[in-house]
Structure 1
Amino acid sequence: MTAHSMTTEAISTAGTTAVEFRNVDIVFGHKPERAFPMMDAGGTRDAILEATGCVLGAAGVNLTIGRGEICVLMGLSGSGKSTILRAINRLNRTARGEVFVRHDGTLIDVARCDERMLRDIRMRTVSMVFQQFGLLPWRTVRENVGFGLELRGVGAAERNRLVDEKLAMVGLSKWADKYAHELSGGMQQRVGLARAFATDADILLMDEPFSALDPLIRDKLQDELLDLQQRIQKTIVFVSHDLDEALKIGNTIAIMEGGRIVQAGTAEDILLRPANDYVADFVKHMNPLNVLRGNAVMTPASALRREGGTILLGREGHVRVVIDADGRPISVLLNGREGRLGAADPTSGAVEPAVDLIVAPLDLKLKAAIALKCQTDHPILLVDQLGRLAGLCDDEEIYRGLLRRGA
């Protein structure tokens, strides 16, 4: 057994990982190893270029992307985001480090696998959506969407079935026999999405796919992508230079500068706890109402005052929330009288009238929390997916979120 196969076997049980970068360096130029000492010492791209003639593409990249997750790589132009995206399918070669991709249940190092394995990964596991659509102008929409299947050798009947399914998914069934020049920019981008979906690849690489579109079309396609993701649950690695876009669609965000990842985490983490001045500058103009959720600002249940099987709210403890043995709120007492608990609709945020205490999901958006607070003088109880009390959100927690101060 080779050392490489031992490494692959050792991590093949990590079932939640779809892509993993381990100490990845990418260097463009002759004899890239000349740049390694300066890279290891933290040298800048400009200094390395001047001293070695090599261009630093990425340095010391460590990042794990979970299955079914949308990870957004973002930063200014030249920060290295597209460079590491293209290492996932080895369009860019790594100088050092490993890039693992889950293929047929095993994490394979695409930086070192043989050409046959790489071809199989590109054909079946990893698909790419380009910024400029990449449509073949002499082919119809249907033929463009089925191109990858055609290369794979899928028969015409099965190919047409899959293509029709994906065109319906992106709302282009009626345009199947049109050519690219007959479609708007947004529709062309949908064709690119359908082509990527048609291969049924587990991992989609999207290199600024919406950046060439008008703002309204871009916003609509972002919404459509999120709706599709609810149904198809692909792993998506998405490159963007637009922070609003990144915060809207990303489960996790990796911010890059000079070829290095300077912070990776959830939108809430980055907004509330920027790692350095570079990240702080990125997020300083963001409206936290569009990003933060209850779990980012709440006071956790473990920090609340308790008396037996009740939670005491307010300074005087006049509001008592009774919880069952599993931690679910079941009733409320207001100054000794029995009050009414009411659940907020997870989609609309609507609450029944005459409710004393509102119960809402843990991922309640801060904007929705403010609307709910207009209906009650009491804190909002936040519960997890099993209905267990996770924390509360009151005026103080909302103010803290607006001021971007971590809990």
Structure 2
Amino acid sequence: MNSNENKSPLISIKNLYKIFGKNEQRVLASVKEGKSKEDILAETGHTVGLADINLDIYPGEIFVIMGLSGSGKSTLIRHFNRLIDPTAGEIVVAGEDVMQLNAKDLQNFRRNKMSMVFQRFGLMPHRTVIQNIAYGLQVQGIAKSEREKCAQEWLDTVGLSGYANQYPVQLSGGQQQRVGLARALCTDAEILLMDEAFSALDPLIRSEMQDQLIELQDKLHKTIVFITHDLDEALRIGDKIAILRDGLLIQQGAPVDILLNPADDYVEAFVKDVNRARALTVETVMQPQICRISSENIGEAVAQMRKSKQDYGYVMNEDGYQGVITQETLEGVEKCDYENKITDSLLEDVPSVQSDALLESVIPDMLDSEHPLAVLNTEGEVEGHISRSTLADILSDQPTEEAETQSDKNSVHQ
């Protein structure tokens, strides 16, 4: 997850409205007064596509926009590069007001700033795979040898080495979408727009493409705006999620906030069937560190335990996490042995888990352990713990107050 402290948004959408019809400006006043989409259509014959949308999307973020068919999500993404012009509102990208661009500047903006990946692949059937991937660079005027070298690198990156001279019709749906992704990446645009990019694929291939996107993003740190109607997909890949209904922005936030604190019945209906164990990571629900025993000898460990007022602690030394030592074990040591080092015989073998692990993966260790599991960060330091009660709270339909409080804490740090 990306931290947005001290960052400016790369994309800002402010007070955006889109009304489809001949007299959109006249109808705009009624929309701003709060008339419903249905009433506007019945009274004027105009369709409200978007109403008062405000979004900030930060550099390196995968920002997912989701909703049911007709919610306005595809209409919204087409405003980013002005394939659709708004009825009212601001579109600011990298500090530039996109609405002020003339035709030539807008063309350059689309060629260099944003790439788009479509649901139906959008490949040109008369061009080979390598030619399809290199097309954006050809439009930019890059020499053939250079653009084909770049295209080959992206072809290799998406796992299609050897397919350069094939034609799209010779490829499976999943392979065609990989070509579409490689083509979008080949222009080295800062922003990637993906409109239902994986929804035409069968579930297994779709899952593989999601994995590949996550893997690529770990290396590339692009800013990705991803449209989907599938909450499982949104939760899996999104740093932030915005949910639309009838052209209105109902809720936006980190996946854990959407999942644990749905804004209304509409969002709750989306999240009720989600397998939380597969959607949430340990970090999103862990409790703070309780007691860290960093002493070399038993006497100091006794002092640290008493100071913490806990009945167990996680033992750390220069080799990292060692296990759990209990107050009962320490009380059983004679004072004359306080100078002795903590040995393995004094420790209980309580597993540790990584903070970025999915909850699903820690359940077996949790069930086998009497004590809460230590949560380690990427540096191997203990940064929290996760207990059976926390896990039960999160995985139940109605989280307890403790779980909701932890979600609130996490949302503050997003």
TM-score bucket (shorter structure): 0.7 to 0.9
RMSD of aligned Cα (Å): 2.7
- Paired residue type of 1:369: V
Which of the numbers 300, 316, 319 marks the counterpart of 2:288? 300
Displacement of 1:387 in angstroms is 4.8
Measured in 2, the distance between the counterparts of 1:18 and 1:160 equals 30
Contact 1:88 1:99 in 2 (8 A): yes
Residue 227 of structure 2 corresponds to residue 234 of structure 1: no
| 1:337-360: CA deviation from partner (whole Å, max 9, x where unpaired) | 44769xxxxxxxxxxxx8533333
| 1:253-281: CA deviation from partner (whole Å, max 9, x where unpaired) | 11110111111112211111000000000
Larger Rg: 2
Structure 1 equivalent of residue 388 of structure 2: 395
Measured in 1, the distance between the counterparts of 2:118 and 2:200 equals 11
Structure 1 equivalent of residue 148 of structure 2: 160
User: Which ranges in structure 2 are unaligned for 5 or more consecutive residues?
Assistant: 293-301, 331-341, 407-414
Displacement of 1:210 in angstroms is 1.3
Residue 205 of structure 2 corresponds to residue 217 of structure 1: yes
The alignment partner of 2:100 has SS state of: coil
Pair 212,331 (structure 1): closer, same or farther in 2 beyond 3 Å: closer
Q: Please say which of residues 21-30 and 150-159 is displaced more in the overlay.
A: 21-30
Displacement of 1:45 in angstroms is 1.4
Contact 1:146 1:159 in 2 (8 A): yes
Structure 1 equivalent of residue 123 of structure 2: 135
Measured in 2, the distance between the counterparts of 1:296 and 1:303 equals 20
Measured in 2, the distance between the counterparts of 1:98 and 1:303 equals 50
Which of the numbers 164, 175, 181 marks the counterpart of 2:169? 181
Which of the numbers 44, 58, 61 marks the counterpart of 1:52? 44
Which of the numbers 166, 169, 193 marks the counterpart of 1:205? 193
Contact 1:128 1:205 in 2 (8 A): yes
Residue 247 of structure 2 corresponds to residue 259 of structure 1: yes
Residue 89 of structure 2 corresponds to residue 101 of structure 1: no
Pair 311,111 (structure 1): closer, same or farther in 2 beyond 3 Å: farther
The alignment partner of 2:99 has SS state of: coil
Contact 1:34 1:52 in 2 (8 A): no
Measured in 1, the distance between the counterparts of 2:393 and 2:212 equals 32
Contact 2:192 2:222 in 1 (8 A): yes
- Paired residue type of 2:387: D
* Pairing of 1:37-116 with structure 2 (within 5 A): 37-102=29-94, 107-116=95-104
Give the TM-score normalised by structure 1. 0.84
The alignment partner of 2:310 has SS state of: coil
Measured in 1, the distance between the counterparts of 2:118 and 2:275 equals 29
Give the TM-score normalised by structure 2. 0.83
The alignment partner of 1:25 has SS state of: strand
Pair 242,312 (structure 1): closer, same or farther in 2 beyond 3 Å: farther
User: Which ranges in structure 1 are unaligned for 5 or more consecutive residues?
Assistant: 1-12, 342-353
More strand by share: 1
Measured in 2, the distance between the counterparts of 1:94 and 1:340 equals 67
- Paired residue type of 1:221: M
Contact 1:86 1:92 in 2 (8 A): yes
Q: Please say which of residues 24-33 and 374-383 is displaced more in the overlay.
A: 374-383
What is the aligned residue count? 373
Measured in 1, the distance between the counterparts of 2:251 and 2:231 equals 14
The alignment partner of 2:176 has SS state of: helix
Identity %: 40
The alignment partner of 1:58 has SS state of: strand
